Amino acid sequence: MMASQSAELIGLRVSRETTERLQHFTQLFLKWAKTINLVAPSTLGDLDNRHIRDSAQIYALAPGPKTWIDLGSGGGFPGVITAILLSEISEGWVHLVESNQKKAAFLRVALQETGARGSVHVLRIEDAPAKIPTCDAISARAVADLSLLLQFIAPWMASGATRAFFHKGRDYETEVANARGRYDVDLVKHQSIVEADSVILEITRMQQLSQGAGAINVAR
């Protein structure tokens, strides 16, 4: 499946230029993945579906010229894909937060060579709010469990205007249960279009409370 087909299958119509950017990113990724562990090697054979299409779901849920923060960007999923899709409208920006120097080097090359709308910050996630104090949306994929992610994003969510989107696998209900009692959260569950047992959890409001006082309200 080509990158353009991936975009069409999630309801995004993109230009030839954006399709070429996605294809160039794929070529770069496969080249760098030979020497850097960017994703699990077992998933490289289905890169377009497992990673690019999976990442594009995030932008499809929150399209438009937003300022994003992508936590633990790693191999560029979903951050670089969002940044490439933002190039379609020539507005918006993605701040990619990655503490690993080698992965950060790959991300910089990927953004530069694809003309994507983003920048790389070589930071630990917990240090990022001091450097990037505000955003419209947050993304994270295969970074940490929900409780820790909520702890990470708390400074940005305080404004009440920021939304967060987290890819989660089949154990997401356990993660939600473990986070109860620590946070008062409004959460929307979006079924993944790539994996039948995976979801994207959208956090629309959150507040950290005293132990045992919180609740997670799940909308389906």
Provide the sign of the torsion angle of the four alpha carbons 151, 156, 162, 163, taken in this order.
Answer: negative
**Average pLDDT over all residues of the chain:** 88
- Residue 173 predicted with pLDDT over 50: yes
Q: Residue type for 205, please?
A: R
> Quick one: average pLDDT of 191-203?
92
pLDDT digits 0-9 by tens, 7-20: 554 566 788 899 99
CA distance 70 to 123: 12
The pLDDT of residue 211 is: 57
pLDDT at 195 over 70: yes
The more confident residue out of 209 and 151 is 151
Residue owning tokens 């995030």: 58
Burial category of 166 from C-beta neighbours within 10 Å (exposed 0-12, middle 13-18, buried 19 and up): buried
In which band, very low, low, confident or very high, does the pLDDT at 98 lie, cut at 50, 70 and 90? very high
What predicted TM-score, i.e. pTM, was given to this entire model? Answer: 0.89
Average pLDDT over residues 105-112: 98
- Give the model's pLDDT for residue 9: 44
- Please give the residue that has the higher pLDDT: either 158 or 212: 158
Residue 166, beta-bridge partner list? 140, 201
Q: Which residues contact 158 (CB under 8 A, 6 or more apart)?
A: none
Mean pLDDT highest for which of 23-37, 94-108, 203-217?
94-108
d(CA 34, CA 176): 36
pLDDT per residue over 33-82, tens digit each? 889 988 767 666 667 777 888 899 999 999 999 999 999 999 999 999 99
CA distance 75 to 220: 30
